[in-house]
Amino acid sequence: MVVIQARSKKKPTGARIRSARKKRHFEAGHEPTLTKIGDRKVKKVRSRGGSGKMRGQRFDKVNVADGKVVKQAVIKTVVENPANRHFVRRNILTKGTIVDTDMGKAKITNQPGQSAVLNAVLVKEKTK
């Protein structure tokens, strides 16, 4: 089934709006990517105008910025996810997710479902 990003077919009162036209190709969307933890897997999808987007399916490493220094860290698990509380136990990565890495806790700053990389900022350093 196609995901359509068109106007709602209901009025604010709940009444039905009778459509003057059918669905259009430019209104079509995609299902959410639901990026997970695992061996890196990236998929290219066509976007509007013939351009492409890289959808991150799975990531096992993250680029963690600690001040001006950026290092690659291994992701252990998802600690907190503001998008959906059920994403934590499913280990789904979205923007704003706090992950536990070998460097400490880090917050994801980009949208992994729309880019081929995973960037984060160090929130809490690991105590030695």
pLDDT digits (tens, 9 = 90+) for 64-101: 999 899 999 999 999 999 999 999 999 999 999 999 99
CATH of 35-125, one of 3.40.50.970, 3.40.50.10310, 3.40.190.10, 3.10.290.70: 3.10.290.70
Residue 93 and residue 119: Cα distance in Å, rounded?
11
Beta-bridge mates of residue 55: 43
- Work out the burial of residue 104: count CB atoms within 10 Å of its CB; fewer than 13 is exposed, 13-18 middle, 19 or more buried: middle
Q: Considering the chain, what percentage of its residues have pLDDT values greater than 90?
A: 69
**pTM, full prediction:** 0.82
Question: Do the beta carbons of residue 108 and residue 93 sit within 8 Å?
Answer: yes
Report pLDDT digits (tens) over 50-61: 999 999 999 999
The conformation of residue 86, written as its DSSP 8-state character, comes to T
Q: Average model confidence (pLDDT) for the chain?
A: 92
